[in-house]
Amino acid sequence: MEMNFMEQTSDQWSLVEALLARSGKLFLKKLSRNDSSWANEGGGHQYGFYVPRAVRESGFFPELHAREDIPHILESECPSFWPQTGEVRQDSGVKYYSNKQSECHFTRIPPDLFRGLSPASWLLGGTLTEPEGTAHHWFMVIDSASAEAELLESRLDIQANFHFGLFSPSDFKRASSIEADEAAQLIEEIDAALRNGTIEALVAKYSKLPSPDMLANAARADFLSSGKAKAFDPWAIKKPGDALMRVSRDIEFSIYRRHELRMRAVEVAKVLSGYDRTATAAVRGFPSMDSIFLSASQQRKSRAGKSFEGHLAAMLTAGGVRFEAQAILGQRRPDFVLPDQATVALDKSRNFEDAAILSAKTTLRERWKQITHERFNCAIFLATVDDRISKEALADLQRAEITLVVPESLKMKTNESLYYHDSNVISFREFFDEELARKRPSLLLAG
C-alpha cells in the first residue's frame, strides 16, 4: 500500500521538529561531492564535511586553537549528536589548515549517513540548548531525493543558488513567502468571512490559481525589472542558464506560492469552520486537510515542468533560435526540434549539423530515457536546472550520446561545482555560443 506525502515524511520530519525545539542556532549546508564522496571511497576518521569560512568565523562552532606541534593546524573538539543513528561522537571536531587558505572540515563523523547520497543533499545541524550527553551540537543528513528535503526547502524558501546559511528555529515557522502586511490582510479577510458566514464565497474567490502563462510572464517581467537584462535573450544575458534557473525555480515559484497560500489557507479555514472545537476539527477534519495538502504537493510538481519548458521556449524565441515545439518524430514528441519537424525528418538527406533535438526536464529521474529510443541523425541535447543528477544517470546519458545542458553555476569550476568534470555536460552559455552559433548557425534566424 502506497503511503501519501504526509505519512512518508512524518517520522523523519517529526525528528527534525523535535530538534528544532531544542536548538539555538541552526546551520544548513548543501553537500557538494567532496562533502560525501569520502564515505563512498572508504575514507577514514579524518574525513568529513567542509566548513565554510563564514560559518567557521560565526561562533557556531567552538573557538579554534593552534596545535603546539603544528601551529598552522587549528582545531577544536566538538562532540556531536547524530539522531539518525542515535550516537554521540565524542571525538568529532573542527580542523582548519590555515596554510591551505579555506580548508576546514568537521571530522570524525558517521560515514554511513554520507554514503550513497543523491547529489545536492542537505546537512542540517544546530546548537543544543541542553546537551545530549557531552554533545552541544547535532547534525542530520537529508537526502535531496526525499520528501523531507522538499519540506525543508519549502519551509526556508531555499533559492536555487543557496549553498549554506545560518538560521534560527523561528525561520522554520514562517508560514509563507508573502509580506507581513499581506498576511495580516488575508487573516482579517478570513476572520471576516467566518464571522459573516461568507467563507464559501471566499473559497470561490481564491479557488483558481493564475494560468501558467500569466505566472511565467510575471516571473520574466520581475527578472527583467531587476536590471539583469533588457530582454530574455540568451545573447544579452551573460549566464542564460542561471537566469533560467532563477526565473523558473525561484521567482515564478515565489509568485506561485503567494497565490497558493491564499487558496489553501481559505480551504483549511473552511474545513475548520465546520467544527465548534479545535480538537474535533483536528480529528474529524484531518482527512479533508490531508487531501488539501496532498493536492498542493501534486500541483506544485506538475507546475514545475511546464514552467521550465515555457521559459526555455521564451529564451529560444528571444534569441532568434529556429524551433518547433512538441513536433511528432516517429514514436516521440520532443519538447523542441531545431529548426523544425520537416528538417529533422529528412534524416540522411541532410548534414548532421543541420538539425538538433532539445528536450527540457526540470528534474531528470528516469524520464529522460524516453528520448533515447530513436536516432535522428542529429545531436540530442537535454536541458535541465537539476543539481541532483547521479553519476550513474550521467554515465547513462553519455552512453546514449545525449549532451546535458545545465546552468553555468553548476558547470563552472568551484568548490560547489557538480558537473565540472563531466565531459557530456555543457552550460547554456556553451550551448548557445558553441553548439548553435558556431557549429549550427543555420538554426538561427538571419540578423
My answer on whether 165 and 282 are in the same domain is: no
Q: Give the position of cell 571525538.
A: 91
Q: Return the pLDDT at 303.
A: 66
Q: Give the position of cell 548553435.
A: 436
CA distance 215 to 248: 10
Q: Return the pLDDT at 57.
A: 92
My answer on whether 65 and 105 are in the same domain is: yes
Domain total of the chain = 3
My answer on whether 223 and 205 are in the same domain is: yes
My answer on whether 388 and 333 are in the same domain is: yes
My answer on whether 11 and 156 are in the same domain is: yes
My answer on whether 60 and 166 are in the same domain is: yes
- SS3 state of residue 296: helix
Alpha carbon distance, N-terminus to C-terminus of the chain: 59
My answer on whether 200 and 342 are in the same domain is: no
Give the distance from CA 55 to its chain's centroid.
22
My answer on whether 247 and 345 are in the same domain is: no
Q: Return the pLDDT at 372.
A: 56
Q: Which of 173, 201, 220 is the last residue of a domain?
A: 173
Per-state percent for the chain, helix, strand, coil, to nearest 5? 45, 20, 35
Q: Return the pLDDT at 5.
A: 34
Sign of CA dihedral 211, 215, 221, 224: negative
My answer on whether 122 and 13 are in the same domain is: yes
Q: Which of 298, 316, 334 is the last residue of a domain?
A: 316
One-letter amino acid of 341: Q
One-letter amino acid of 124: L
My answer on whether 342 and 276 are in the same domain is: no
The helices-and-strands tally (H runs, E runs) of the chain is: 16, 17
Q: What's the pTM value of the predicted model, to 2 decimals?
A: 0.80
DSSP state of 438: I
One-letter amino acid of 160: A
Question: Which residues, given as ranges, of the chain have pLDDT below 50?
Answer: 1-10, 45, 175
- Within 8 A by CB and 6+ apart from 70, the residues are none
Q: What is the largest CA-CA distance in the chain?
A: 76
My answer on whether 63 and 165 are in the same domain is: yes
- Characterize the bridge pairing of strands 425-427 and 104-107: unpaired
CA distance 426 to 158: 25
**Half-sphere exposure of residue 42, counting CA atoms within 13 Å on the CB side?**
0
CA distance 72 to 67: 7
Q: Which of 129, 148, 173 is the last residue of a domain?
A: 173
My answer on whether 358 and 432 are in the same domain is: yes
CATH at 358: 3.40.91.80
Q: Sheet of 402-406: strands edge to edge?
A: 324-325, 336-338, 356-360, 379-383, 402-406, 425-427
Which of 133, 147, 77, 83 is CA-nearest to residue 113?
83
Tell me the C-alpha to C-alpha distance, in Å, between residue 171 and each of 27, 130, 153, 166: 12, 20, 12, 10
For residue 369, give its domain range. 324-443
One-letter amino acid of 344: V
Secondary structure element (H or E) that encloses residue 219, with its range: helix 212-225
